[in-house]
Amino acid sequence: MASPLLWDIFCKVIDNYGDIGVCWRLACQLAARGQRVRLWVDDANALHWMAPQGCPGVEVRPWAQPLALGGLAPSDVLVEAFGCEVAPEFIAACAEWTRSRGQNHAWINLEYLSAEPYVERNHGLPSPILHGPGTGLTKHFFYPGFTPRTGGLLREPDLLQRQAGFDRLAWLQQHGITPLPEARLVSLFCYEPPALPALLTGLASAGHPVQLLVAAGRSSTAVQTAIESRNRLHPSWNQRQTLSISYLPHMTQDDFDGLLWACELNFVRGEDSLVRALWAGRPFVWHIYPQHDDAHHTKLEAFLDLIEAPDSLRRFHYRWNEVDTQPLQAPDLARWAETAARARERLLVQADLVSQLLQFVARIRT
């Protein structure tokens, strides 16, 4: 059995959830397999509620400017998450450490998740460093993905067992949520989609009770703003009170899984929660991170093609992500559930990201 390695994972936080969420899962899953991890992060505040118990084998260190190495020896593996640029002094230390030991250093650029064709072409490619403090090192690009020719998705070995043993009613009661008779539970984790008022109106007129469970942060602010606007312009939009709304506190990563498992429809955003929605196997709608040049539209289309989304799910995603301005249609949960189940079944056949990453690093180092 190979000796455990020391990993340095560098993460710059963009919105407090996605980047740090992925990096924390990666760090914990590596530690669970006997690896030692130092997670360098420029803003660790989200970990206070996302992972309040910490994780054995994972040390969280501040990524300040300049970086305080404090005599630390470089690790065996350096992971740059999502193209963040590690401090030159750290790269120089890695290069010197590598030369002194005469052993290959694994420098991984962990890329963003996409279903676009370039992912398969670029996954695993080397990039020799010819200039600067890292001269002599080689960076390798590691792409998460949805196909066997990519790096796969983060998935804990016991995930399916945990979901199989999930007690929905107990989880809801633990979080102060009392299910209403015959109500459909819907979770909402989003940015600020212009179609949000239309969604709220549609849920309120769905013909059956709906309980909307809104994630903390931007989602809650967006919903409150949309409701104020609805109440001002159309005071009777929820007159029958068929739509009830609960604003949730910040949740741990395990509790977020529970939220997805408890609901019959999940609205998720970014990349980390998309992957968790796929593993949950429930109908879901993805709010992709918007880009100014609309490059996210191509990324969204590639994902919808990958999961073989039916027309109703495509149209809903187009409106939710501002690809078009067509009216927001009622969710077709039966068909969407079939789509989610098929996608999950295909993905479960593939090796998870950490298993593939460990094998990849072993090849580089030898």
Tell me the CATH number of domain 6-153+351-365, given options 3.30.420, 3.90.930, 3.40.50, 3.30.450.
3.40.50
Q: Which of 80, 111, 257, 271 is catalytic?
A: 271
Domains 6-153+351-365 and 159-348 share a fold: yes
Tell me the helices (H) and strands (E) count for the chain, helix number first: 14, 12
On the 0-12 / 13-18 / 19+ scale of CB atoms within 10 A, 322 is middle
pLDDT in tens, 63-106: 887 776 777 877 899 999 998 888 888 888 888 777 777 667 89
Give every strand in the sheet of 138-142, ordered side by side: 58-62, 36-41, 6-11, 77-81, 106-110, 138-142, 126-128
Structure pTM? 0.95
- Residue range 159-348, CATH number: 3.40.50
Look at residues 301, 329, 328 and name the one whose alpha carbon lies nearest to residue 194.
Answer: 328
Predicted confidence (pLDDT) at residue 184 exceeds the cutoff of 80 = yes
The percent of residues above 70 in pLDDT, for the chain, comes to 98
Question: 360 near 124, Cβ under 8 Å?
Answer: yes
Please state, in angstroms and rounded to a whole number, the distance separating the CA atoms of residues 65 and 88: 11
Question: 66 near 89, Cβ under 8 Å?
Answer: yes
Q: Is 271 a catalytic residue?
A: yes
Alpha helices in 263-294 (DSSP H): 272-280
Q: Which of 19, 76, 80, 272 is catalytic?
A: 19
Predicted confidence (pLDDT) at residue 16 exceeds the cutoff of 70 = no
Q: Where are the domains of the chain?
A: 6-153+351-365, 159-348
Question: For the chain, first and last CA: distance in Å?
Answer: 15
pLDDT of the residue at 97: 76
pLDDT band with cut points at 50, 70 and 90 for residue 327? very high
pLDDT in tens, 36-54: 999 999 999 999 999 999 9
- Using the structure block, give the residue that is written with the tokens 């999961």: 307
